[in-house]
A = this chain, B = another copy of it.
Amino acid sequence: MIEPYDDTYFMQKALQEAEAAFDRDEIPVGAIIVTDNRIIAKGHNLTETLTDVTAHAEMQAITAGASFLGGKYLKDCTLYVTLEPCQMCAGALYWSQISRIVFGASDEHRGYRKMGTQLHPKTQVSHGILAEECSKILDDFFKARRRLN
């Protein structure tokens, strides 16, 4: 049986959010939240637009997802995000008790694993989905920015 709604399908949707960030001159990271094969929240990095360090893609998706569900906890939800979450976002995901996190590219420097952030015991993690595409958009962004400076 063909499964159209697999991790690759949803990571592609998160990548589209990263592209929206790129188009706004924001570091291109995108996130979506899915429950029962339905996208209930989308977000992309807006730290420059909002002059707010808390405006990461995941934070906006968490807020939007909880608003959609009418409850704080993201049980039976999966977050797809193009880049490994940072301490702040992993800390927010901890509080949300989200069921699953899928990230694309690893962040070797500021990712939650390197920083030692704890996720909720209920949360499962997968990574590496479309990792090359998720990294490439970041590389393209920083290359373009270096050319301008």
Contact = CB atoms under 8 A, between A and B. Distances in A.
Interface of A: 47-48, 51-54, 59, 62-63, 66-67, 70-73, 86-92, 94-96, 115-118
Contacts of A47: 72
Contact of A115 (B73, B89, B117): B117
A62 B53 contact: yes
Nearest to A56: B95
Contacts of A51: 66-67, 70-72
Contacts of A90: 87-88, 91
A118 B115 contact: yes
A109 B92 CA distance: 16
Contacts of A118: 87, 115-116
18 contacts: A51-B70, A51-B72, A52-B62, A52-B63, A52-B66, A52-B72, A53-B66, A53-B73, A53-B96, A54-B92, A86-B91, A87-B90, A87-B118, A88-B91, A88-B92, A115-B117, A115-B118, A116-B116
